[in-house]
């Protein structure tokens, strides 16, 4: 693999349809993007399908990448996330606006430092697809509710409701786990 002095140089070579540069870009980001997409799809087969579509988009849209607006990794991640959301929609996962719901806006959601990462990931994976997607987008990817709303076609308040419900479900799962663990 040919080393590139900068990301800009790598992008320029990819825009010239240089296969080695495209492979280098793919290899550079596939690991992180696999983990990102897997948090949405929850199985390797669907993750691989989404990544194939996402990287096709990356190479088709690479000319629109602007390094002044952010990093290449963040740009690719956004494409992967939106592709994963599109995939969920095709599987009939609907994101609906939620009106007139009282929110518990206390942000006291904390994950126990002593819990195994594997258990936490399993709890997140067990959320319904809407809650899991919004939890991932907000807590892990760092999107704000306005951005989530734009991507999902819902209002920001609905994003907050889904996130609040996801956190409440995770609290219950963690509390249940702790009770089971104490009884052992």
Structure tokens at 101: 């719901």
Q: What is the pLDDT of residue 97?
A: 67
Between CA 135 and CA 142, with CA 136 as vertex, the angle to 5 degrees is 100
- Rounded mean pLDDT for each run of 10 residues along the chain, 184 residues in total: 80 95 96 95 94 98 93 96 93 68 46 62 90 93 93 93 94 85 64
What is the C-alpha separation between 82 and 65, in angstroms, rounded? Answer: 16
CATH topology of domain 117-182: Arc Repressor Mutant, subunit A (1.10.10)
pLDDT in tens, 38-64: 999 989 999 999 999 999 999 999 999
**Backbone phi, then psi, for 91, in 5-degree steps?**
-90, 15
What is the C-alpha separation between 3 and 10, in angstroms, rounded? Answer: 9
What is the C-alpha separation between 95 and 162, in angstroms, rounded? Answer: 9
What is the C-alpha separation between 134 and 152, in angstroms, rounded? Answer: 9
Which CATH code for domain 7-90?
1.10.1740.10
What is the C-alpha separation between 102 and 78, in angstroms, rounded? Answer: 30
Structure tokens at 170: 């995770």
- Residue 126: CB partners within 8 Å, gap ≥ 6? 173
Residue spans of the domains in the chain: they are 7-90, 117-182
């Amino acid at each position: 693999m040919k080393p590139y002095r900068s990301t800009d140089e790598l992008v320029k070579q990819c825009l010239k349809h240089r296969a080695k540069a495209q492979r280098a870009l793919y290899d550079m980001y596939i690991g992180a993007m696999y983990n990102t997409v897997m948090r949405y799809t929850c199985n390797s087969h669907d993750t691989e399908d989404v990544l194939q579509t996402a990287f096709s988009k990356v190479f088709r849209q690479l000319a629109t990448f602007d390094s002044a607006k952010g990093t290449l990794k963040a740009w690719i991640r956004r494409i992967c996330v939106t592709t994963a959301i599109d995939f969920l929609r095709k599987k009939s996962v609907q994101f609906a606006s939620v009106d007139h719901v009282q929110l518990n806006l206390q942000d006291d959601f904390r994950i126990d430092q002593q819990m195994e990462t594997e258990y936490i990931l399993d709890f997140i994976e067990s959320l319904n697809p809407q809650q899991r997607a919004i939890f991932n987008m907000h807590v892990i990817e760092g999107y704000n509710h306005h951005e989530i709303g734009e991507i999902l076609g819902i209002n920001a308040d609905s994003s907050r409701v889904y996130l609040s419900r996801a956190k409440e479900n995770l609290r219950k799962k963690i509390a249940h786990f702790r009770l089971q663990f104490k009884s052992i």
